[in-house]
Amino acid sequence: MSPRVSKEHLKQRRADIMEAATKVFIEHGYEHTTMKHIMEAAGVSRGGLYQYFSNKEDLFEALLEEGLSEEAITTGVSLEKGGSHWTLLMQLMFGEDGNPDTEMDPLAPSKLEFFITGRNDMRRRAYGEKRYEKGLQIYNEIIKAGQESGEFSDHYDSELIARSLITFVDGLALDHAILPEEKVKLKEQSALFVDYLKMALGVSSSS
Amino acid sequence: MSPRVSKEHLKQRRADIMEAATKVFIEHGYEHTTMKHIMEAAGVSRGGLYQYFSNKEDLFEALLEEGLSEEAITTGVSLEKGGSHWTLLMQLMFGEDGNPDTEMDPLAPSKLEFFITGRNDMRRRAYGEKRYEKGLQIYNEIIKAGQESGEFSDHYDSELIARSLITFVDGLALDHAILPEEKVKLKEQSALFVDYLKMALGVSSSS
Amino acid sequence: MSPRVSKEHLKQRRADIMEAATKVFIEHGYEHTTMKHIMEAAGVSRGGLYQYFSNKEDLFEALLEEGLSEEAITTGVSLEKGGSHWTLLMQLMFGEDGNPDTEMDPLAPSKLEFFITGRNDMRRRAYGEKRYEKGLQIYNEIIKAGQESGEFSDHYDSELIARSLITFVDGLALDHAILPEEKVKLKEQSALFVDYLKMALGVSSSS
Amino acid sequence: MSPRVSKEHLKQRRADIMEAATKVFIEHGYEHTTMKHIMEAAGVSRGGLYQYFSNKEDLFEALLEEGLSEEAITTGVSLEKGGSHWTLLMQLMFGEDGNPDTEMDPLAPSKLEFFITGRNDMRRRAYGEKRYEKGLQIYNEIIKAGQESGEFSDHYDSELIARSLITFVDGLALDHAILPEEKVKLKEQSALFVDYLKMALGVSSSS
DNA sequence: GATGAATGAGGCTTCATTCAT
DNA sequence: AATGAATGAAGCCTCATTCAT
């Protein structure tokens, strides 16, 4: 008997499940999604699902990692291109084009859920912290680099600005998760925050 | 064990349950708290608990309302005193003393949970929106009044600033929920945000 | 202190509860009626209710007894009047006027429920049998008397006819409980059954 | 204890549960039967039971349908044989042999319960009506055919007779449910009812 | 590898009945 | 007598996870 499925197919199957799961998590949220939902959306059997992911948490974390690596790639690419640090910051916050009118990650609400509801679970908490640190570091490095290169003012501590930036993004995601699309004023709030960042980093308004 | 007496004692019992429930919700979060936890913490029987609150949601909303009325009182008091609008704003954000070193509401993480995990439930969503609108209005009115009195610049729309303020507070609560106490730098971030507000409202740094 | 309530009032209170309970049982049926329903309908407190009736079963049986005594009265009155046995039979089956277009006892469905769902309870079962026997006896006596007086044919055993009569009435009540008003054809079915009775009892069609 | 194998075995398992459930329903009646009773009788776990039937109502309806299809088969066979319409009617009422001494369906009391206690539930009520109509139709067709062929008198409306037939059967089932075996006089009452039918259909006594 | 039946812990809620006041 | 808070047994149902085939 030759192996029924090649390794490639396995990867594909895993990817398919993750894609289906993403849709389900977006629709029902983390807590209210059941393994059955995912099974059905992915067209996998119960046992099949558990072959790829040992539980819901594991599956969701895979989704989280995937998102992270995408971001990393984006960042990496941008770093090579060598625009200004400010441009880089904007790209990191708002995606490729660096404009604050981008759609929000539709999985974001579920991500928040995942970490909030799991805040009492040691493992999950540690994982959340690691993620936060990673994100913080990326922003911090750029800001620090910008300060060192003289592009940014060093009036404020780079890490503090990085933290605030994350806080703002998190707050926006939260409100976006809870309020109807039209009420969050994503774009306007982002623009206001960017104005503030310019001030805090001493960037002229001409960007 | 036995029926308590009349009127006042009932209120007390209800309050006791709410107090116990608050502790439980703080410890386990909204989703992971069960009615049994609350029963045991409050020393009530199953049926007794359901006599006061018809389900977990109902109970939690009672907690939310309670918090709201407390805030309202605070606000009311402050409004009468008639300090500057800026002082008022600071008091509203950081409590009586208006200093950004206050403790955060320990129930805040569960509140976020409540609204995030319930974002697909029509009733809950509507309730969340109403709450948001209420909060928004309070901040907005103060800012608008400040703008009209000339105390604040009207460079930015008052409502947009109010929204950003809420977004920041929400973001901070979120991070606080997820990260260990020492990492959030509540005080420093708050101070930075105050600077942000000063910029947006054109308030001089001498406050 | 004089007694707050006279004995008369107590009787009245009891009667009020029974009246309210009747309405509730008609609306919800026996099984699905709760003591709370009755309390509320009667405007009595929980404890008050239990002072008059020690449980749901007890209360319902009081209702049953009441119905029985009413019937007895009716019968009694009729017996005195001394019409024909046939007229008596018709009055017993269809009420005062002896016409088969009368409304059905609205509590009948709940009565059926009471005895069906309780058929495995010794006490209830015995009670049901006693009631059946009582009813059977009444019909049987009239039929037997009619047969002895020569008004009825004695081709069939009087008791058997009495039983069949009850079976038919029960069946009709059952269908009436389950089917919509217009589908049971109460009147027509009754007329047909009366025709049959005439035949079985050798009564001429001129009644 | 462990998963059974494929396809056929599943049907078997389902059938086993239904068989066990039937016993339980016969013993405790519909309302007083709990899913736990059934679980235990069938040797299935809670979840296992719910895999086959989503609740008690669903399970019971499966039992009802099963009974229906059995009847249908019986009827089908009989129709092919092409005896007299009268014979057919007797077979339908009293089973294959057409003699009124057959045992009664032991599940009948629970069936009555099911429809009586559920009479205020829209879904259940509609289901009950549908069943009634189906039964009515079968009897009606035979009677009508008999009338058209001249075997039966058409003095009475065929549908009315069909209804009365059902009413009688229901009444008998009811009494049988409530009274001890020996008191119902099933056989005698049935014989009397057959006379009733003969009268209504103008059938000579020689059957 | 895949399947999906089976498990059983765990949560929610209702309601008859009791009993201190 | 009347009140109604409190009790707790009893039911229902869901769902993550296991495991024989």
- Rounded to the nearest integer, the mean pLDDT of chain B is 87
Question: What's the pLDDT at A47?
Answer: 92
D27 pLDDT band (50/70/90 cuts)?
very high
Q: Do D129 and C31 touch (CB under 8 A)?
A: no
The C1' atom of F14 and the CA atom of A34 lie apart, in whole Å, by 10
Question: What's the pLDDT at D43?
Answer: 92
Q: Say if residue D85 is exposed, middle or buried (CB neighbours under 10 Å; 0-12, 13-18, 19+).
A: buried
Flag whether pLDDT at A179 surpasses 90. yes
Q: Say if residue C102 is exposed, middle or buried (CB neighbours under 10 Å; 0-12, 13-18, 19+).
A: middle
Q: Which of D27, D117, D129 sits opposite C29 (nearest CB)?
A: D117
Q: Chain C residue with minimal CA distance to D182? A: C129
Question: What's the pLDDT at C173?
Answer: 93
Flag whether pLDDT at A144 surpasses 70. yes
CA distance A182 to chain B (A): 12
Flag whether pLDDT at B79 surpasses 80. no
More confident residue, B68 or C124: C124
More confident residue, C180 or B71: C180
Question: What's the pLDDT at C93?
Answer: 86
To test the contact with chain C by mutation, choose from D117, D127, D140, D187 the residue with the greatest count of C C-beta atoms within 10 A, namely D117
Q: Which of B167, B179, B189 sits opposite A172 (nearest CB)?
A: B167
Q: What is the C-alpha separation between D187 and D172, in angstroms, rounded?
A: 11
Q: Any idea which nucleotide's C1' is nearest the CA of A54?
A: F17
Q: Which of B174-188, C73-87, D83-97, D141-155 has the lowest average pLDDT?
A: C73-87
Q: Which of C56-60, C132-136, D82-86 has the lowest average pLDDT?
A: D82-86
The C1' atom of F1 and the CA atom of C47 lie apart, in whole Å, by 10
Question: What's the pLDDT at B12?
Answer: 87
Task: Kindly report, residue by residue over C149-162, the tens digit of the pLDDT.
Answer: 999 999 999 999 99
Distances (CA, A) of B160 to A161, B163, C107, D128: 21, 5, 65, 60
More confident residue, C204 or C82: C204
Across the range B12-16, mean pLDDT stands at 90
Task: Kindly report, residue by residue over B110-130, the tens digit of the pLDDT.
Answer: 999 999 999 999 999 999 999
Residue with tokens 């660096």: A98
Question: What's the pLDDT at B78?
Answer: 58
CATH placement of domain B63-201: 1.10.357.10
Residue numbers of C between 177 and 196 with CB closer than 8 Å to D? 177-180, 183-185, 188-189, 192-193, 195-196
Q: Do B161 and A192 touch (CB under 8 A)?
A: yes
Q: Which of B158-162, D3-7, D16-20, D122-126 has the lowest average pLDDT?
A: D3-7
**Fold type of domain C64-201:** Tetracycline Repressor; domain 2 (1.10.357)
CA distance C6 to chain D (A): 39
CATH placement of domain D58-201: 1.10.357.10
Q: Which of B192-196, C15-19, D38-42, D73-77 has the lowest average pLDDT?
A: D73-77
C98 touches chain D (CB under 8 A): no
Strongest mean pLDDT among A89-93, B181-185, C90-94, D23-27: D23-27
Q: Do chains A and B touch (3 or more CB pairs under 8 A)?
A: yes
Asked: is D1-54 a CATH 3.40.50.970 domain? The reply is: no
Question: What's the pLDDT at D11?
Answer: 85
Flag whether pLDDT at A90 surpasses 70. yes
Question: Domain coordinates of chain C in residue numbers?
Answer: 1-54, 64-201
Flag whether pLDDT at C181 surpasses 60. yes
Which CATH entry fits the domain spanning A56-201: 1.10.1520.10, 1.10.357.10, 2.40.50.140, 3.40.50.300?
Answer: 1.10.357.10
More confident residue, D184 or B71: D184
Distances (CA, A) of C73 to C77, C89, C133, D29, D39: 6, 15, 18, 35, 50
Q: Do D119 and C31 touch (CB under 8 A)?
A: no
Positive or negative, the CA dihedral D28, D29, D35, D41 is positive
More confident residue, D121 or C101: D121
Residue numbers of B between 118 and 147 with CB closer than 8 Å to A? 119-120, 125, 128-129, 132
Both tokens assigned to B90:
């600071």
- Rounded to the nearest integer, the mean pLDDT of chain C is 87
Which helix or strand (DSSP H or E) is residue D198 part of?
helix D186-201
**Residue D166 with chain C: CB contacts under 8 Å:** 171, 175
Residue A187 in contact with residue B183, Cβ under 8 Å?
no
Question: What's the pLDDT at C71?
Answer: 62
Report the 10 Å Cβ neighbour count for D9: 12
Q: Do C189 and D164 touch (CB under 8 A)?
A: yes
Q: Do A116 and B116 touch (CB under 8 A)?
A: yes
Q: Any idea which nucleotide's C1' is nearest the CA of A3?
A: E1
Question: What's the pLDDT at D207?
Answer: 47
Distances (CA, A) of D164 to A128, A161, B95, C166, C190: 73, 87, 79, 14, 9
**Residue B30 with chain A: CB contacts under 8 Å:** 117
Q: Do chains D and B touch (3 or more CB pairs under 8 A)?
A: no
Bases of chain F with protein Cβ within 7 A: 1-21
To test the contact with chain D by mutation, choose from C117, C123, C153 the residue with the greatest count of D C-beta atoms within 10 A, namely C117
**Residue D30 with chain C: CB contacts under 8 Å:** 117
Q: How would you classify residue B7: left for phi > 0, otherwise alpha for psi between -120 and 50, otherwise beta?
A: left
D1 pLDDT band (50/70/90 cuts)?
very low
Bases of chain E with protein Cβ within 7 A: 1-21
Sequence-separated (6 or more) residues with CB below 8 Å from residue A89: A139, A142, A143, A146, A197
Flag whether pLDDT at B72 surpasses 90. no
Task: Kindly report, residue by residue over D100-109, the tens digit of the pLDDT.
Answer: 766 788 999 9
- Rounded to the nearest integer, the mean pLDDT of chain D is 87
